[in-house]
Amino acid sequence: MTVTLDTPLTRFPGVGKTRGEKLAKLGLLRAEDLVTYYPRGYEDRRQHYTIQGAPLGVRICITALVAQRPRFSRIRKGLELVQLKAADETGVLHLTFFNQSYVEKALQVGVEYVFFGAVEEQGRRRSMVNPVFERADRPLATGRIMPLYPLTAGISNHLISSLTQQALPCAGQLPETLPAALRREYQLAGLEYALNHIHFPADDRALELARRRLTFEELFYLSVGLSLLKGRRTGEVGCALPSRPLGEFTSLLPFAPTSAQERVMREIAADLSAGRPMNRLVQGDVGSGKTAVAAFAAWMAARGGCQAALMAPTEVLAEQHYRSLSALLAPSGMRVGLLTGALSPREKGEIRRALAAGELDLAVGTHALISPQVSFRRLALIIADEQHRFGVAQRAALADKSGTGGMPPPHVLVMSATPIPRTLALIIYGDLDVSVIDQLPPGRTPVATYVVGEDKRERMYHFVRAQVALGRQVYLICPAVEDNPQAALPGEEERSPNLKAVKSYAARLQREIFPELRVGVLHGRLRPREKEQVMAAFAAGEIQILVSTTVVEVGVDVPNASLMIVENADRFGLSQLHQLRGRVGRGRHQSYCVLVTSTRNPETLQRLRILSSTTDGFHIAEEDLRLRGPGDFFGSRQHGLPQMKLADLTGDTRLLTQAQQAARFLLQQDPHLTQAENRPVLDQVRRLFADTPDIFN
Ligand code: ADP
Ligand code: MG
């Protein structure tokens, strides 16, 4: 069979309809898909030993003759055993297979196989458990570095590797995508070489070369894509809003802005009046006063006769912004509206009509704001609050929401409290200019933070009563909603048998611990209306203790709340705890954060104590990254970037820097990748961002 890139896998020997469907589930339909389906790891099958000569405990190959018919036995339901002996000239190897009954038929007496596994020894008896094996006269894996592929039920690693081996000859038909000059400059292997050796590396060096080339390529396309995204906007004409004296706005504020707030407002003002679309990120730790900065931008838009939209990641937050922004801006004559999923269809219709008619100056809402049914009369500015919840794609969708009547593309302002380590920021915000509010409003006393064990629970409840007696309010955060930790948090129930579940815990607190106080419950499964009511009641002081999941994590502002208690605190990341802690210490009262944990693990305790020793969000984020690794930092795919196959966005820093440099250089030469030789790059970038529509259109 001659294989071309387009050969369907069902034409490969051994792939029928069923297997074909299973392969399709992995995205494998044609030969080309196999060639670009990279291993997730490797197994070194180059070490070959005799039975007696084999070292113990490491996975190695042994060639041996099956000396005995395999014996099948069922120990009990769910535990089947196949046992046999194999031999070479140095001795006997006892083989045991658990729950692999097919082995009984697969291994034939008198035939030589290569067994790959770890040898164990009891007395003089040498054995291997669950080795993988292949016939010695038809070796595929033996003697090489074997690829390990991501699999699915019914598809073995052996199948994928042998199919890939058959498909690889067509790798040469794939056009080289990286420009030759760039390959020379960064000493990158050719595509065909890289593809061959990423699957079946000749040796360690070949593997390293292959991986470097393909990883670089991925990071390069990512960088090019993000630069195009940024460049797409810098070339555009934006709506030039007239500058106004800053004092006109700050006189609306109930406080004097910090000098950091003022500096950022000036940066924004410069952007908004420059005639180019703004694309700016404002980073500021919790409580640094980002809302006032957002209000300023919206105010400038309204003063210029245009509309602004502010998107928040949750309904609770949208409603809160709506309340505080209307209070702040209405006195200047601005008309502010709220659009969330919680509104009735009639209310929604009315807000949409008013927006389209230009009767509202500022719309506050959730994702509902970017739905296609919403149109604006003169939209000049889009603000996204707590930006890490919005991906690159949503930002692009926002930016595409120009108004009717020939409005230029809107200015985009994103605000984030999540301090992001530099490498990640480079990628995630590669398309943005950055302003930092690096100062907290004056008079803030740092939130006193304590890590306590279960033995302090009674004292903690006393402390709650004492704070409420002073007129303060309390947040109490739990990790789960229902009383079924297994459903809420797979695999965690053993480690944290007392996982506090919001609903039942709140009920118990009200009944048994604080019968004299008003306890409220807030979690993500409430209907938007209910959430709104609870939040409003808490803001109004009607609820004294708010038992909640992390839905209050971002942005909620109730200055009278002075105590934040986090149950099962070890379940959370440091940055997340820092965000939670930011919900208190917002008023003039001394505030407290109590992290409750039943863990005795010294490392976990040490990790939590970092929070009692510092209030610097960036420092905390870095510790978090160092201790927990990058995987947890954002949760999966929250950043909305295309999926990388090989590159680790936080680990491959050096390669990333090089790839970004290469991308910059290429785009200097050919800003829109219109030259024929760069066409393949553009195609690859489009492909990479294919899951992220709206970016390149
Ligand atoms: P974040 O940056 O976390 O969004 P907010 O904008 O919610 O912070 O502000 C936190 C609190 O600080 C609010 O109660 C706000 O009114 C107050 N605040 C903001 N700026 C100042 C300032 N310059 N002086 C005093 N209080 C301020
Ligand atoms: Mg905020």
- Count of helices and strands (H, E) across the chain: 23, 23
* Mutation probe of ligand 1 site: the residue of 586, 588, 615 with most atoms within 8 A of C-beta: 586
C-alpha angle 80-82-85 in degrees, rounded to nearest 5: 160
**Ligand 1 atom nearest residue 557's Cα:** 7
Q: Are 334 and 299 in contact (CB under 8 A)?
A: yes
Q: What is the pLDDT of residue 320?
A: 84
Over 60: is that where the pLDDT of 388 sits? Answer: no
Q: What is the pLDDT of residue 395?
A: 61
Over 90: is that where the pLDDT of 485 sits? Answer: no
The residue whose C-alpha atom lies closest to atom 16 belonging to ligand 1 is 289
- Of residues 424 and 272, more confidently modeled: 272
Task: Report residue 345 as tokens.
Answer: 């269809």
Backbone angles phi, psi at 270, to 5 degrees: -60, -45
The residue whose C-alpha atom lies closest to atom 4 belonging to ligand 1 is 290
**Percent of the residues in the chain that have a pLDDT greater than 90, as a whole number:** 44
The single-letter code of the amino acid at 622 is E
Identify the band that residue 107 occupies on the pLDDT scale cut at 50, 70 and 90. Answer: very high
Q: What is the pLDDT of residue 426?
A: 63
Q: What is the pLDDT of residue 495?
A: 38
- CA gap 143, 141 in Å, rounded: 6
What distance in angstroms lies between residue 311's CA and the mean position of ligand 2's atoms?
Answer: 12
Q: Are 60 and 49 in contact (CB under 8 A)?
A: yes
Burial readout 151-172 (b: 16 or more C-beta within 10 A, e: otherwise): eeeebebebbbbbbebbbebbb
- Residue 634 has a CB neighbour count (10 Å cut-off) of 19
Mean pLDDT of 350-359: 94
| E strands, 36-124, in order | 41-44, 48-49, 59-66, 71-76, 79-88, 91-98, 112-122
Over 80: is that where the pLDDT of 400 sits? Answer: no
Mean pLDDT of 522-549: 87
Q: Which of 35-39, 231-235, 588-592, 674-678 has the lowest mean pLDDT?
A: 231-235
Q: What is the CA radius of gyration of the chain?
A: 31
Taking only the tens place, the pLDDT of each residue in 617-626 is 877 877 776 6
Q: What is the pLDDT of residue 554?
A: 56
* Mutation probe of ligand 1 site: the residue of 250, 291, 553, 589 with most atoms within 8 A of C-beta: 291
- Of residues 16 and 1, more confidently modeled: 16
Burial readout 348-387 (b: 16 or more C-beta within 10 A, e: otherwise): beebbebbbebebbbbbbbbbbbeeebebbbbbbbbbbbb
| E strands, 556-630, in order | 561-566, 592-596
Q: What is the pLDDT of residue 648?
A: 67
What distance in angstroms lies between residue 691's CA and the mean position of ligand 1's atoms?
Answer: 37
What distance in angstroms lies between residue 389's CA and the mean position of ligand 2's atoms?
Answer: 13
**Ligand 1 atom nearest residue 284's Cα:** 2
Average pLDDT, the chain: 85
* Mutation probe of ligand 1 site: the residue of 265, 389, 416, 557 with most atoms within 8 A of C-beta: 557
**Ligand 1 atom nearest residue 292's Cα:** 6
What distance in angstroms lies between residue 386's CA and the mean position of ligand 1's atoms?
Answer: 14
Highest mean pLDDT pick, 218-222, 263-267, 286-290: 263-267
Q: What is the pLDDT of residue 35?
A: 94
The single-letter code of the amino acid at 229 is L
CA-to-CA dists, residue 274 to 281, 375, 546, angstroms = 17, 25, 45
What distance in angstroms lies between residue 105's CA and the mean position of ligand 2's atoms?
Answer: 65
What distance in angstroms lies between residue 330's CA and the mean position of ligand 1's atoms?
Answer: 18
Over 70: is that where the pLDDT of 141 sits? Answer: yes
Q: 398 CB contacts (<8 Å, ≥6 apart)?
A: 311, 370, 382, 384, 410, 412
C-alpha angle 443-446-448 in degrees, rounded to nearest 5: 140
The ligand whose atoms approach the alpha carbon of 437 most closely is 1
Over 50: is that where the pLDDT of 602 sits? Answer: yes
Q: Are 307 and 241 in contact (CB under 8 A)?
A: no
Over 80: is that where the pLDDT of 356 sits? Answer: yes
Mean pLDDT of 76-98: 93
- CA gap 378, 355 in Å, rounded: 9
Q: What is the pLDDT of residue 85?
A: 95
Over 50: is that where the pLDDT of 644 sits? Answer: yes
Over 90: is that where the pLDDT of 187 sits? Answer: yes
- Of residues 557 and 644, more confidently modeled: 557
Ligand 1 residue neighbourhood (C-beta within 6 Å): 255, 257-258, 261, 284, 286-292, 417, 441, 555, 557, 559, 586
Over 90: is that where the pLDDT of 90 sits? Answer: yes
- Of residues 631 and 222, more confidently modeled: 222
**Ligand 1 atom nearest residue 443's Cα:** 25
- Residue 124 has a CB neighbour count (10 Å cut-off) of 8
Taking only the tens place, the pLDDT of each residue in 308-349 is 999 987 787 888 899 899 999 999 999 999 998 878 899 999
Q: Which of 396-405, 509-518, 551-560 has the lowest mean pLDDT?
A: 396-405
Q: What is the pLDDT of residue 195?
A: 95
Q: What is the pLDDT of residue 638?
A: 42
Q: What is the pLDDT of residue 420?
A: 64
Identify the band that residue 490 occupies on the pLDDT scale cut at 50, 70 and 90. Answer: very low
Q: Which of 94-98, 454-458, 571-575 has the lowest mean pLDDT?
A: 571-575
What distance in angstroms lies between residue 637's CA and the mean position of ligand 2's atoms?
Answer: 22
Q: Which of 405-419, 492-506, 563-577 has the lowest mean pLDDT?
A: 492-506
Identify the band that residue 634 occupies on the pLDDT scale cut at 50, 70 and 90. Answer: very low
Note the pTM of the prediction, 2 decimals: 0.62
Over 60: is that where the pLDDT of 390 sits? Answer: no
- CA gap 371, 341 in Å, rounded: 11
What distance in angstroms lies between residue 318's CA and the mean position of ligand 1's atoms?
Answer: 16
The residue with tokens 């740092």 is 446
Q: What domains sit in the chain, N to C, each tagged with a CATH number?
A: 1-45+157-171 (1.10.150), 47-143 (2.40.50.140), 246-437 (3.40.50.300), 448-614 (3.40.50.300)
What distance in angstroms lies between residue 443's CA and the mean position of ligand 1's atoms?
Answer: 12
Task: Report residue 246 as tokens.
Answer: 């800053």
**Ligand 1 atom nearest residue 261's Cα:** 23
- CA gap 610, 123 in Å, rounded: 51
